[in-house]
Amino acid sequence: MPLKFGTALLHYHKKGCAQRLIHAFKYQGNKSIGKWLSTWLGHELAVLNSDLGIVAVVPVPLHPAKQRQRGFNQAAIIGQGIAQCLGVPLHENVLIQTNYRQAQAKKNRWDRWAKSHGFALNPRSNLPGGHILLVDDVVTTGATLEACGQLLMKTPSIELSCASIAIA
């Protein structure tokens, strides 16, 4: 998948600081940590955005059942903070997740790649052409970002970049 740019704020290690922060945000519901991390990443990206020209931020979606269970989509919170720092819109409903799946954190690398991700473009969304930033919380294999990015690239006149809070 052709990317214009890709970045992560932190390096994710088991039992490391990034893991503790992301677990507190994602699994313990501490949204203030997610907002703080997304603002930090957003400020870093804002320095580069005059060269990048990002026009919209798209978060990786959660299945509606998982979002009800968790109470929020962590990628959407990350996307909100970044979009706010960049002064661009957040397009939260461009992608939908059609398959309810077990948490990726409990899968090994092969299983993350081998399983179908079940993402689709929302036929009612209106994604602008231009440079789109796809965001997620953690990148391990890149399978989720690739599945979502491949769908976004079907939209005419799209350039794609990816950002995450952490990379493993």
Domain boundaries along the sequence of the chain: 5-167
Asked if pLDDT for residue 110 goes beyond 50, the answer is no
pLDDT at 118 over 50: yes
Nearest by Cα to 82 from 27, 122, 140, 40: 40
Task: Write down the pLDDT at residue 85.
Answer: 96
pLDDT of residue 102: 59
The CATH classification number of 5-167 equals 3.40.50
| pTM, rounded to two decimals | 0.89
- What's the token pair of residue 141? 């294999």
Interval 52-100: pLDDT, tens: 899 999 999 999 999 999 899 999 999 999 999 999 999 999 999 988 7
Structure tokens at 12: 């994710």
CA distances from 40 to 7, 43, 62 (A): 13, 5, 23
The phi, psi pair for 120, rounded to 5°, reads -150, 155
Q: What is the pLDDT of residue 92?
A: 95
- What is the per-residue pLDDT for 116? 56
